[in-house]
Structure 1
Amino acid sequence: MNKITGYAAFLAGFFILLGGIHPSSAAAAGNYTAKVQANSLNVRSEPAAGSSVKGSLRNGVLVTVTDEDHGWLKVQAGNTSGWVAGYYLKKINGSGQASGSSGSVATNVKTSTSGGSSTKATVIANSLRIRGGPGTHYKVLGSLQSHDSVTIIQRQNGWIQIRTVNGETGWVAEQYIRSGSSKSSTVRSSGGGLSGKLIVIDPGHGGSDPGMLGTTYNTMEKDLNLQTAIYVRDDLKSRGARVEMTRTRNNQKPSLGQRVQFSDALGADAFVSIHYNSSPKKVSGTLTFFYSEADDLLLARAIENRLGQGIGLKSNGLSFGDYRVLRGNPLPAALIELGFLTNPADEAIVRKASYQKKAAKAIADGLADYFRR
């Protein structure tokens, strides 16, 4: 039996699923509270910049977020209800913990131990994250590679506490472990260069969702996202990184939740989502988003620093972004907007392969800087 069958089956199932996905926006898992981070934030009737304004919210106002649609959040504040741009809100402590939080209270936990004799097991995923506890919200301690051998200590609700041959302990997802020994394991730390790192590149939109349409040349954002993502993938692979993409064809449209699940299940080291921007105002340049200051900011800053060194468009710096692919992602993640398709000059530039390749190199350079820190 092939030892990476589980990993291959996961990938096959994921991409088969993409072909049958029905167009739908992915809502956040449960309501939560957020604070307005703008002097005056327009509340609109639909999740689109051109929709009618129903009212406005002042800086510091607390709102309840009930839904999400590609960066727009549906909110309720008193008698005011409607859609707002997500990057003007910041989640606060409430019904859910922010990504990267270290605490969790377990209830009705079923635990079993391996008894008197130790049970050996083998990793069947290409890369498997070791966490500090039985859940994706716990801190990542390191990772294991395919065929690595571990000792099972106990099982708990789909997670296994393991011990490596180095004597280090932690928790891994049960479905990526199979009973039986293989070669000795060595935990890879999260530092170092690109070589051996597993990076998920997410070309935004796809399928029936074209994203933004350029206002001058009718450039379709989903096409630019995919082509740029392919350039990023090729650059990273040439430096020794392992790369997976959430979609590889323009007729695929994974949901936001599936994109997050894909990266987490693979035990990736980083996640980068590629997009092109739009605005009713005459603005130009790139913008790099992060969600968690603890997990995402360093990655976003490393990439933005490289984009700011010159790729043909100016960098507008870093911004908090309350996007599902960032908020729901347990690994370091960044979302990059590589130019405004509503700006004629930007659109003319970003359509060129030469610009996309420069942007891809800057992103790869930023990832290399991040892993060398």
Structure 2
Amino acid sequence: MVDPGHGGDDGGAKGPRGLKEKAAALEIGQAVAAKLEAAGFEAVFTRDDDTFIPLWDRARAANAQGADLFISLHLNAARTRAARGSEVYFLSLGKGDDDEVVAAENAGAGTAPTSADSVVASILDDLAQKAFLQDSERLAVAIQGQLNRLAGIKERGVKQAPFIVLRGAAMPAVLVEVAFISNPKEEEKLKDAAFRAKVADAITRGVRRYFAQANGSVRRRTVAGPG
């Protein structure tokens, strides 16, 4: 499941020259899906146009599709324009490594479910992803390792954070911050189809490496919901 971040009224971050995160994330997502398909995977989108999808619903869509992996694509932003590089996150059920990034990416969550059934479902969501934390970390490491090879992209490492979009995914799930849209040089790279193709290649190589290391042992587990 390829999840281009943001969409619709939720534009995400904006670059100094006007590039919107939601647009860049969708273009990267389309490139990633094409590379995954070429490598023999089936890629399904949470969104394939400029549509807002609540964060709470994205992992559930992946569950409904029976996806083996969930990859959420985003662009980072910082107050200083000098910040650069890529980083890959997997879920933290506690405090994360970067509160500023968490606040930015969780901003489009919408209203959290509050009904009794929804509260039970939310608890099951946490349990679902908890069962996959080690696999999610391995996937994050595999993808970050390939992104590190991109020329001009600084390594920022693998981190954990309580991203709402990763909760409830009954499969290994990661959030990729491809580059800093707030950095003018990286913003220009993000506008370049050739660079986006390199990013997509790196993510696809990371996915292939993950499955190769798992030696075919990775299987999506069924997590029963309420009722």
Structure 1 length as normaliser, TM-score? 0.45
Aligned to 1:240: 40
**SS of residue paired to 1:279:** coil
- After superposition, give the CA deviation of every residue in 1:84-127 in whole Å (9 maximum; x if it has no partner): xxxxxxxxxxxxxxxxxxxxxxxxxxxxxxxxxxxxxxxxxxxx
Aligned equivalent of 2:75, options 264, 276, 293 = 276
Shift of 1:290: 0.8
**SS of residue paired to 2:53:** coil
Shift of 1:229: 0.4
Matched, 1:207 2:47: no
Shift of 1:268: 0.8
Q: Which runs of 5+ in 2 are unaligned?
A: 92-129, 214-227
- After superposition, give the CA deviation of every residue in 1:207-236 in whole Å (9 maximum; x if it has no partner): 111111112x11011110001100110111
Aligned to 1:305: 145
Shift of 1:315: 2.1
| Counterpart AA for 2:141 | R
- After superposition, the CA RMSD in angstroms is 1.2
Q: Provide the C-alpha distance between the structure 2 equivalents of 1:362 and 1:311, rounded to a whole number of angstroms.
A: 11
| Counterpart AA for 1:214 | G
Higher RCO (CA-CA < 8 Å; seq separation 6+): 2
Matching of residues 54-93 of structure 1 within 5 Å? none
Q: Provide the C-alpha distance between the structure 1 equivalents of 2:207 and 2:83, rounded to a whole number of angstroms.
A: 27
Structure 1 or 2, whichever has the larger Rg, is: 1
Q: Provide the C-alpha distance between the structure 2 equivalents of 1:356 and 1:312, rounded to a whole number of angstroms.
A: 13
- Larger relative strand fraction: 1
- Larger relative helix fraction: 2
| Counterpart AA for 1:262 | A
Q: Provide the C-alpha distance between the structure 1 equivalents of 2:32 and 2:152, rounded to a whole number of angstroms.
A: 17
Matched, 1:331 2:171: yes
Matched, 1:258 2:57: yes
Shift of 1:311: 4.4
Distance of aligned partners of 1:316 and 1:296 in 2 relative to their CA distance in 1, 3 Å threshold: same
Q: Provide the C-alpha distance between the structure 2 equivalents of 1:336 and 1:363, rounded to a whole number of angstroms.
A: 9
Q: Provide the C-alpha distance between the structure 1 equivalents of 2:210 and 2:135, rounded to a whole number of angstroms.
A: 12
Q: Provide the C-alpha distance between the structure 2 equivalents of 1:349 and 1:239, rounded to a whole number of angstroms.
A: 24
Give the count of matched residue pairs.
172
**SS of residue paired to 2:208:** helix
**SS of residue paired to 1:356:** helix
Deviating above 3 A after TM superposition, structure 1's stretches of 4 or more consecutive aligned residues are: none
Contact persistence 1:219–1:347 (CA under 8 A): yes
Q: Provide the C-alpha distance between the structure 2 equivalents of 1:227 and 1:356, rounded to a whole number of angstroms.
A: 8
| Counterpart AA for 2:79 | P
Q: Which runs of 5+ in 1 are unaligned?
A: 1-199
Matching of residues 132-281 of structure 1 within 5 Å? 200-215=1-16, 217-250=17-50, 252-281=51-80
